[in-house]
A = this chain, B = another copy of it.
């Protein structure tokens, strides 16, 4: 594994061009294998989301999209995001009303994030079993059946402390 392939914004040696390239390749493969239509708009919105590891709002994406596609309107980007979120290519960050690319959409998982309040970079945890178990344990105590979770941890990344 070369230094270029270290993943995640909080990893030293992180090369973002590799993130983008990998994400787009994975998206293409996933959509092919599941017979999903990664249309031009959807693909472009996914690329725009992957501009960085800072979550992007729908209207930030819309603004960028409009630079290339003058007739883009809110539904254009919201529909693309709906598709991307549905298939785990993108996650919505509830506490920010914003969207972030997922680097492992092919594996079924719940999303959990570390959000740096200084540099605004977001890292997705790898479907932490530790957190999942803790959540299950608490839910079980109350006879609650979990179907989904929002776990968004705010703080400072190592570089920003």
Residues of A within 8 A of B (CB): 10, 94-95, 112, 114, 116-117, 123, 125, 128, 130-131, 133-135, 137-139, 142-158, 161
Contact = CB atoms under 8 A, between A and B. Distances in A.
A133 B130 CA distance: 9
Contact of A134 (B116, B131, B157): B131
Given A139-B155, A150-B152, A145 B161 contact: yes
Chain A, interface SS category: mixed
Given A134-B131, A142-B10, A154 B148 contact: yes
Contacts of A95: 94, 150
Nearest to A144: B114
A63 B102 CA distance: 39
Contacts of A131: 131, 134-135, 138
B152 A10 contact: no
B153 A149 contact: yes
A142 B114 contact: yes
Contacts of A116: 144
B114 A139 contact: yes
A153 B144 contact: yes
A157 to B, nearest CB: 6
Nearest to A113: B150
A123 B153 CA distance: 20
Contacts of A123: 142, 144
A135 B131 CA distance: 6
A149 to B, nearest CB: 5
A154 B145 contact: no
